[in-house]
Structure 1
């Protein structure tokens, strides 16, 4: 099976386990695209997050979608909570210091909201969005979404690279 929440979580949130969901979708979703499947699940009362999760898991299990595949390419994600305020993390994200801890490459910034978000094109392909969320105790969660990656292999490389980069950033700031 694909990597998705366990049966207990699915039952708690939706009232059904994965086998029941997959059997159900096998009966009516075969001819539908992802967006239509998720919409139909929402129409059945499934929350938005769970509708996406169920649709993704079923599509992966049936060979219609690879792990981390989105309609417009692949998406690598990473996050880390760092014992530093958003301003300190923002300085590392939005200045030349970025090149000291981040994966090899750079972002051509298109949107920046200080201490919150930074978005732009990644030099070797795709788009990167970095989100900062203030946490209690002077901490900050940083989340990176590298989207529109061309293939699964590059996605896995970038996922590992961003995880390593956030570990490096945590080491710099703590």
Structure 2
């Protein structure tokens, strides 16, 4: 499964509607400003300060630019480490989803035989855990969408390379689907 560039996920039309410019126009603007010699933070800040681009779109344009100009690969953070992510909306409370990660018995039902070591959990809010003996880490953020509906956002960081990103992206898509099925039984 190939991981898509942000320019493939966020359409030129949607970007233009939100920022007033499409990908090519933003890339030309950033090239003229000398963005290839600047940090991720500098580029995003420039988009906010000089053009009033909102935070999420400033980050998206910056990541798209860095990917297109070879400054970072898909799945690579601005610090150079590799990360995969996944999300799923589940018809269950945020507290119940926290329990599905934090309770060993319940977790085994949807994430069997995982090398998972819980670091922190804030019921109804977030979970962090070491993965594979601490070689990588997962962070889960829960956003309630009503009394019994929650968006689960999962980030898996400190991965070895782009291949691991693709593997874990598919893995978490499948596992979060199993979690959803389990909690919605």
TM above 0.5, one fold? yes
Stretches of structure 1 that go unaligned for 5 or more consecutive residues are none
Contact 1:4–1:57 (CA under 8 A) maintained in structure 2? no
Equivalent residue, structure 2, for 1:85: 93
Could you list the structure 1 runs, at least 4 aligned residues long, displaced by more than 4 angstroms after superposition.
Answer: none
Q: How does 1:112-123 map to 2 (within 5 A)?
A: 112-123=121-132
Distance 2:29 2:112 in 1: 42
Equivalent residue, structure 2, for 1:60: 67
| 1:51-98 superposed Cα distances (whole Å, 9 cap, x missing partner) | 111111011111221112102412211111111222322221111121
Contact 2:94–2:144 (CA under 8 A) maintained in structure 1? yes
| 1:95-138 superposed Cα distances (whole Å, 9 cap, x missing partner) | 11213312753332222111211112212522211122222252
Contact 2:90–2:180 (CA under 8 A) maintained in structure 1? yes
Q: Does 1:130 align with 2:136?
A: no
Equivalent residue, structure 2, for 1:21: 26
SS in 2 for 1:136: coil
Using structure 1 for the length normalisation, give the TM-score: 0.90
Q: Does 1:161 align with 2:171?
A: yes
Contact 1:4–1:53 (CA under 8 A) maintained in structure 2? no
Stretches of structure 2 that go unaligned for 5 or more consecutive residues are none
- Aligned mate of 2:151, from 141, 153, 168: 141
Aligned length: 174
Equivalent residue, structure 1, for 2:39: 33
Contact 1:103–1:161 (CA under 8 A) maintained in structure 2? no
Cα separation, partners in 2 of 1:87 and 1:22, compared to 1, 3 Å: same
Farther off after superposition, 136-145 or 161-170: 136-145
- Aligned mate of 2:120, from 82, 101, 111: 111
Q: Provide the alpha-carbon RMSD of the alignment.
A: 1.8
Cα separation, partners in 2 of 1:138 and 1:104, compared to 1, 3 Å: same
